[in-house]
Amino acid sequence: MGSLDQQVVIITGASSGIGAALARACSEQGAQVAVAARSKERLTRVAESCSGETLVVPCDVTVGAERRQLVDAVLARWGKVDVLVNSAGIGYYAPFEEIDLASLRTLLEVDFVAVLAMTQEVLRAMKPAGRGLIVQIASTGGLIAHAPNVSAYLAAKHAVVGMSRGLRRDLEGTGIRVQVICPHLTDTGFFATGLGAEAMREVADRLRGHMDAAAQVAEGIVAEMGSDKFIVFPTDRSRKAYERLREAL
């Protein structure tokens, strides 16, 4: 894609963590950024920390009407969508035999179904334009088993990667590109707010010194946006973790 200057970027899950850091990083590169998440108050704070033009759109990505309203609001403001970043997501930490099916459905609804549906929503704007970029925030856990007791989360992220491979092929010749971002451990509130958060937080506290900062991950994503890479490791730590764990399997 080249420069992000004057590019319209939608970022879901933008009220915190990687999504918020990415909103700031894209804005610094001249993008017009629509930040979306459930909390208007937190989104507003993120928008205020961005250097460029922003649009705050409260949105629950699991609700079809709200996904459509998000895209409609962006089109009404800027008339196009150049980039979609599907960053909204939750974790689920539990031993395999303790995975609760209701919780699993919640996880899949946020981490996979909403990603697919949000992508469908922006394609109605991108296809007539003949260009665009879909950026899926997955995980090294979408490629390998990167940690114990996260089988449900691994399944969701593997599904995102697999769906994105298929989407990439389906979009050949349309001018629309697809990238999958695979961070490793990132120091955000993710571990404190997911399903099984109490147990997850204890593990995260032990691993805190081995995590990337959200700003580092965002910087790596922006640097690779629109490159020829389909799978993107946004930091050296994420790439090395993948290589180390892949060799151990």
User: Could you give the residue numbers annotated as active site?
Assistant: 153
Which residues lie across from 198 on neighbouring strands? none
Cα dihedral value 226, 25, 66, 186, nearest 10 = 90
Crossing angle (nearest 10°) for helices 114-129 and 64-78: 30
Q: Using alpha carbons only, give the angle 60, 201, 109 rounded to the nearest 5 degrees.
A: 25
Residue 218 and residue 187: Cα distance in Å, rounded? 12
The DSSP string of 162-226 is HHHHHHHHHTTTTTEEEEEE---SEESTHHHHSBTHHHHHHHHHHHGGGPEEHHHHHHHHHHHTT
